[in-house]
Chain A
Amino acid sequence: MAVAARNKKSARRRQLEAAINYPIDWLEERSGLVGGIKYFIFRKVPGDTNWFHTLGSATLTAFLVQALTGAILAMYYKPDPQSAYQSIQHITNDITLGWLVRGMHKWGASVFIILMFFHMARVFLFGAYKYPRELNWIIGVMLLAIGMLEGFTGYLLPWDQTAYWATVVGINLNGTAPFLGPFLADFLRGGAEIGGETISRFYAMHMLLIPGLIFALIGLHLYLVIRLGVTSPPWSSAAAGSEAAGEEPRTNGRSGLTQPAARSGWRRNGGEG
């Protein structure tokens, strides 16, 4: 009796598992995505990665906050000189939680920039820009520059005095560049004066062009991070790149940190690096 019940249950369980696995296998067979995600999640990282290594994903989180809050703001913001300011007031004062969305976008921008600098500092201090990660450093510098451009184009949009005059000066500064300067300034302004054309231009760049570029570059950046693996800390005994020839890897007090994997069962991906 009892045995029969158990068998029945496990048969049901088998059915359930099959039902869950079917779509997963279906997806895997047609895309290989499941294996990719599994690889991403269970790939090995150096045993002594630590809190410093979280700065990159923290930057990513800050960027995703910007993307999400930005998309919501775009539903209410009106990019023309007659209504931009009112739409910002409306978002901040009237719309339910509008203040939160706008505030998170406004302050998240600064957090994003600060985190990029912190992440860059960690990469620099860890010497993580060295072979074979030079390209990823270069992509990172591009992200930094483009991230600041994103801040510059967003600053105009509230169309208040702060926004307007900062942009007047900013565009005119571009104008001082040799040869290209005046063209660049004219292009940014969209005419002789800062006005409706300028807002549309800044809006398009701020909403489409620059975020698209940032997304693409972050994609490349993360692809390289996964392909090459993250650098272990320079104090790590493993592959820290000590130049003195033949120097034995130091096994210091941190070796405990190096091997927490040994006490866990997470070895699914043992075959891959």
Chain B
Amino acid sequence: MASTDDWRRQFTKYKEDVKERGKPFYPYAMFHDTVMSLVVVSVIIGVTCVWYFTSGEDPSSCGSGHSCLLGPRYSDPADPATTNFVPRPDWYFYFLFYLLRIFKWPDSVILGTVGIPTIALIIAFMLPFFDRRMERRLTRRPVAVIGAILVVLSMGVLTYKGATAHEALASEVVGAVPTWAQREGFAGNAEAIAGAKIFASSGCTACHTYLGTGSSNQGAPDLSAEGSKGRDKQFFTSYIRDPSKFGNNVMPKFGFSDQQLGQLAAFLLASKGPK
């Protein structure tokens, strides 16, 4: 631990060193900076060209006609009603996105959404005040080196996991409805089956799991036995109509019709757990 005077002395020495042995910013450092900046701009333009020339005007041409190496130019227009779409943030939020899967609804999700990022930010802000040693050589800063490796590894793994997390597509999920009906014993209940189809095709399984299908995200619970919790149809209808009225600010408001809401409620009510 160095005293303030040590620090001041060292900084004075630094300034003297630079004055005596330093080199002028121009042309040396400026040359390096310019080359690097040109590389950056070239990379941006290069990536843009690959993106543009491998994609077409129609997003659905990806895979048929266009390879879309870097994705489509845009996806289909935003449509709040059909949520047959897996929500996914931009890649630099993947770590956060995946972190949220680790925490389950409802008590711990706050840890993932707010707790860990806030703590990480505070640690980052405070770093110069935790590490008050003068030493800057890596071989003599084992804690810093190990810390850096752990941070890079965990961010890397979380980002990778977030990027490769398998999200069931609505079309696959709909195929599972007959199995659900049979295992949960609502095969004779037409309204529940209609509800199950809405559930499967509206993107609910992007966050909820049901008999092993779907992926638990953002802390959303498994719904396989939702009907055995003593809740009634009225509850389910109003909950799905506006989850935020029940303190759930994560689940979107889907904009289902009254008929669809009734069917969904019937489906949830009939889900008493696998027989």
Interface residues of A (CB under 8 A from B): 40-47, 49-51, 53-55, 57-58, 61-62, 65, 81, 85, 88-89, 92-93, 99-100, 103-104, 106-111, 113, 115, 121, 124-134, 137-138, 141, 144-145, 148, 151-152, 155, 158-166, 168-170, 172-178, 181-182, 185, 192-195, 229, 231-232, 234-235, 238-243, 258-261, 264, 266-270, 272-273
Contact = CB atoms under 8 A, between A and B. Distances in A.
Given A44-B25, A62-B40, A129-B128, 8 more contacts: A85-B77, A111-B47, A121-B148, A129-B131, A131-B11, A144-B124, A174-B113, A234-B137
Interface residues of B, number: 91
Given A46-B17, A161-B78, A168-B252, A111 B89 contact: no
Main secondary structure of the interface of B (DSSP, over half): helix
Given A127-B135, A173-B113, A104 B14 contact: no
Contacts of B17: 46, 232, 238-239
A14 B137 CA distance: 54
B91 A93 contact: no
B188 interface: no
B7 A132 contact: yes
A168 B87 contact: yes
A153 B74 CA distance: 17
Given A53-B32, A151-B90, A243 B133 contact: yes
Nearest to B134: A241
A165 B87 contact: yes
Q: Which of A115, A168, A242 has the most CB of B within 10 A?
A: A168
A66 to B, nearest CB: 10
Contacts, number: 296
Contacts of A144: 124
A89 B21 contact: no
B190 to A, nearest CB: 30
Q: Which of A81, A121, A239 has the most CB of B within 10 A?
A: A239
B24 A178 contact: no
B136 A127 contact: yes
A164 B199 CA distance: 20
A93 B148 CA distance: 44
A89 B57 contact: yes
Interface string B64-86: 00000010011111111001011
B243 to A, nearest CB: 9
B242 to A, nearest CB: 8
Contacts of B131: 127, 129-130
A255 to B, nearest CB: 9
A110 B91 contact: yes
B44 A131 contact: no
A193 B93 CA distance: 23
Interface string B116-140: 0000010011011101111111101
Contacts of B253: 192-193
B100 to A, nearest CB: 7
Contact of A44 (B2, B23, B45): B23
A49 to B, nearest CB: 5
B80 A175 contact: no
B89 to A, nearest CB: 5
Interface of B: 2, 7, 10-11, 13-19, 21-30, 32-33, 35-37, 39-41, 43-45, 47-49, 51-52, 57, 59, 70, 73-80, 83, 85-93, 96, 100, 109-110, 113-114, 121, 124-125, 127-129, 131-138, 140-141, 144, 148, 152, 203, 218, 244, 249-253
Contacts of A260: 23, 28
Contact of B138 (A103, A106, A125): A125
A44 to B, nearest CB: 3
26 contacts: A47-B23, A51-B32, A57-B33, A61-B36, A61-B40, A62-B44, A85-B74, A107-B51, A121-B148, A132-B11, A133-B128, A138-B128, A158-B74, A160-B75, A162-B75, A164-B78, A165-B203, A170-B89, A176-B114, A195-B80, A231-B136, A232-B14, A238-B17, A240-B136, A242-B140, A261-B24
